Every structure is written in C-alpha cells, then in structure tokens.
A and B are shown apart, each in its own frame.
Chain A
Amino acid sequence: SQQGEEDPQALSIQEGENATMNCSYKTSINNLQWYRQNSGRGLVHLILIRSNEREKHSGRLRVTLDTSKKSSSLLITASRAADTASYFCATDLYAGFQKLVFGTGTRLLVSP
C-alpha cells in the first residue's frame, strides 16, 4: 500500500454536519499537508501541519497529527454544499527538496 491512505474513500453528509477524514502514512515526515480538489480543477492547499505540531486550525478546518500512530485527521465543521470536493493528504518526505507523496483522497459530497 502507498505512503498516504485516506479513509473513508467517500463521504456523504448534509449541510451543517461535520466531516472527518483520516490519513495514515508509513515513514517519517517533515510535515503533512491537506489539499482540496474540485472536479476538473487543480489542487488547492488547505493547511500544513509540521511534524512537531499536534493540532492546527484554519477557519472551519481542524487538523490533528499523531506521529506515534503515523496518522492525521481533517475535520470540516458546519459543512456547506461548496465544500463538495476531493480531499487529499500529502506527506512531505523532504529528500533534499520538497517531495510530497499523496494519498488516493476522500470524495466528500455535501447535500443541501
């Protein structure tokens, strides 16, 4: 299996509910990043958490990192239909240059 694996693969919720996505990885990392991708578009960076950080917030986003379990979670609170997208975690292995390894993503559908 690959470095980053998201769980669940797909998530369907109603507007106003919270959405939680998880990411597991295998090797030591410099940081872990979450990205969002709308259909037919490129990836947009959401939040970066460094290996020595445990939790980070940005607006309605909350990210946690547990390096002992090699896992991270992304929580989107009070979801909106506009949050419908695919969400990817990426681990920065930093091999003398920034080297991001992406998971397969979680497809989030938020219904009005």
Chain B
Amino acid sequence: ETGVTQTPRHLVMGMTNKKSLKCEQHLGHNAMYWYKQSAKKPLELMFVYNFKEQTENNSVPSRFSPECPNSSHLFLHLHTLQPEDSALYLCASSQEGSHNQPQHFGDGTRLSIL
C-alpha cells in the first residue's frame, strides 16, 4: 500500500471513446504528477499540479486533459486517443515546499487503445 491509489488498473478503449483515469492520494501531499511509461522508453512527465494549480504541461497533446479538483485527487481525461497512446499511466504525489522529497507512485493504469 503506497498511499496512492489509481483506478482503473486496466482500460481498453477505442480511439473514439472518452474515458477518465483517477488518482487519489492519502498522504497529505500537495503536489501530484501524471507520467506515461511506454516500453523501452524513459518515464515521461506529463503534468504537474502544485496546490491544485497546474505548473507543468510537458507538451502533451490536447487529447489528454488533466483535472485536479483538490490536492488529494487527480484525473486524466482521455478522448480521441491514438494507438501510440497505449502505455502504463502512473500517478505520483510528493510534498512540495520541502526540497529533497521522494515521490510516491500508484500502481498505474494499463491503457490499451484499439
């Protein structure tokens, strides 16, 4: 139990579907992150939220839309995805304001685009 819960664990969707990934952290952290992990590629940072405000959008296509309603919840809304978007999507949280803190990861959502 890492304190970061992601749902669903697996998701299969067509290119025209709309779905959302959910992340919830129970650690009292104030920063949350979305990462994309594809085979044989480094983990890619997608979005960063500090105190519910987006502080980083790492050139992510608009078909990915993040939402952070409060410091404990983070969503990733998906629509009109492409086959190359199939990957493991990981959420993480950390305590910002203090340097040198680790990030805590959820177990990810394995996304497959048909």
Using a CB–CB distance below 8 Å, which chain A residues touch chain B? 2, 4, 30-31, 33, 35, 40-45, 48, 50, 88, 90, 92, 94-105
Using a CB–CB distance below 8 Å, which chain B residues touch chain A? 2, 4, 6, 31, 40-43, 45, 48, 50, 55-56, 90, 92, 94, 96, 99-108, 110
From B40, B50, B55, B99, contact of A94 by CB (8 A): B99
Chain A contacts of B102 at CB under 8 A?
A: 33, 45, 48
Pull 6 A–B residue pairs with CB atoms less than 8 Å apart, ordered by A. Answer: A33-B103, A40-B110, A42-B4, A97-B50, A97-B55, A99-B48
A45 to B103, CA, bound (A): 7
Please tell me if the beta carbons of A43 and B105 are within 8 angstroms of each other in the complex: yes
Chain B contacts of A101 at CB under 8 A?
A: 42, 45
Chain A contacts of B107 at CB under 8 A?
A: 40-42
Chain A contacts of B96 at CB under 8 A?
A: 97-98
Please tell me if the beta carbons of B90 and A98 are within 8 angstroms of each other in the complex: no
Closest-CB distance, A32 to chain B (whole angstroms): 10
A105 to B2, CA, bound (A): 21
Asked, given contacts A41-B107, A42-B4, A42-B106, whether A50 binds B100 with beta carbons under 8 Å apart, the answer is yes
- Closest residue of chain B to A98 (Cβ to Cβ) is B94
